[in-house]
Amino acid sequence: MQCQGTLTRFGAALLLVVVLPQISHAQSADSVGVVQRLQGHVSIVHLGKSVDALEGMDISLKDRLVTGAQARLQVMLADDTQITLGENAEAVIMQYQFNPLVSGEKGMVVVEVSKGAFLLTSGRISQLSDKRIEVKTALANLASTGAEFWAGPTGVDLEGVAVFEGSVAVSNDGGLVVLSAKGVTQSRVQSQTQALGMRSRSSTDPISSTDPIGTTLSRGRGPSQAVIWPQEKTDRAVDAVTFDSEIARNFIPNAGNSSAP
């Protein structure tokens, strides 16, 4: 009996040795957010090792987020900031700081998106008086004090940036332009808020009648003048970061109605 008890304890200890390395990343002390949602093949490169992403998995600083063809990834940071990546994208959260319980604490989100399209919706960090929200893309540096904005490829060697809410300064060695928008159209709010993870708006919230404001960049040149993006261009940008299930929900007649044919 004593031998059996010893073997049982040894087996339990061995189980811990086998299991703990597998879950250590998910319980990492330097976690800054979690995988909220994914579609298709998404991998996370942590300390040089690539693992398949799973919903609920923790994201640490310097983790490389990589999406495959037709894939999507939505990450929720500790302050409720959401970052949604489209297909064939790569991103790294370089710096993150958020502690609203400390008086005078500075908030910081610094992300590098080396390729692909993304949508960033700032969370509670935008309410801090001292904050820094920046994204570095292949062709520009984006700086915001709190906004909802998209950036990604818009053509061969072209990159676009569009602001749905708030303002973003877009700059590179060729110049700087500030994009500002008070809101989005009624139709976009109704059809895309849930799909993109946009901030929910009540019926009393003001809604602008204008389309998002955007700019275009090409290698070696500064951002173009801020202009209103036409709906077709905006829709293509939105589709690049929308999950297939939301597209189906928005366009299938009587979706969610059990009596539908």
**CATH code of the domain made up of 94-251:** 2.60.120.1440
User: What pTM did the predictor assign?
Assistant: 0.76
Q: Is the pLDDT of residue 187 over 80?
A: no
* Model confidence pLDDT, tens digit, residues 2-47: 445 544 444 444 444 333 333 334 445 589 999 999 999 999 999 9
Average pLDDT over residues 164-173: 96
Q: Between 215 and 145, name the one with better pLDDT.
A: 215
204-258 pLDDT tens trace:
333 233 489 999 999 999 999 999 999 999 999 999 999 998 765 555 455 444 4
User: What would the 3-class secondary structure string for the chain be?
Assistant: CHHHHHHHHHHHHHHHHHHHHHHCCCCCCCEEEEEEEEECCEEEEECCEEEECCCCCEEECCCEEEECCCCEEEEEECCCCEEEECCCCEEEEEEEECCCCCCCCCEEEEEEEEECCEEEECCHHHHCCCEEEEEECCCCEEEEEEEEEEEEEEECCEEEEEEEEEEEEEEECCEEEEEEECCCCHHHHHHHHHHHCCCCCCCCCCCCCCCCEEEEEECCCCCCCCEECCHHHHHHHHHCCCCHHHHHHHHCCCCCCCCCC
Instruction: Please list, in sequence order, all residues whose beta carbon lies within 8 angstroms of the beta carbon of residue 104, skipping any fewer than 6 positions away.
Output: 130
pLDDT band per the 50, 70, 90 thresholds, residue 117: very high
Please enumerate in sequence order all residues whose Cβ is within 8 A of that of 87, keeping only pairs 6 or more positions apart, or say none. Answer: 40, 67, 68, 69, 70, 71, 72, 116, 240
Q: Show me where the domains of the chain are located.
A: 94-251
Q: Quick: pLDDT tens for 42-70.
A: 999 999 999 999 999 999 999 999 999 99
**Each residue of 118-136: pLDDT tens digit?**
999 999 999 998 999 999 9
Q: What is the average pLDDT score of the chain?
A: 80
The answer to whether the beta carbons of residues 174 and 196 sit under 8 Å apart is: no
Separation between Cα atoms, residue 61 and residue 76, nearest integer Å: 13
pLDDT at res. 101: 78
> Both tokens of residue 159?
């990159």
Instruction: Kindly indicate the confidence band of residue 92, based on its pLDDT and cuts at 50, 70 and 90.
Output: very high
d(Cα 155, Cα 7) in Å, to the nearest integer? 64
Is there a contact between 48 and 63 (Cβ–Cβ < 8 Å)?
no
| Count of residues in the chain | 261
- Note the pLDDT tens digit of each residue in 188-208: 333 344 444 444 333 333 323
pLDDT band, residue 103 (cuts 50/70/90): low
What's the pLDDT score for residue 247? 63
**Neighbouring C-alpha atoms within 13 Å toward the C-beta of 202:** 1
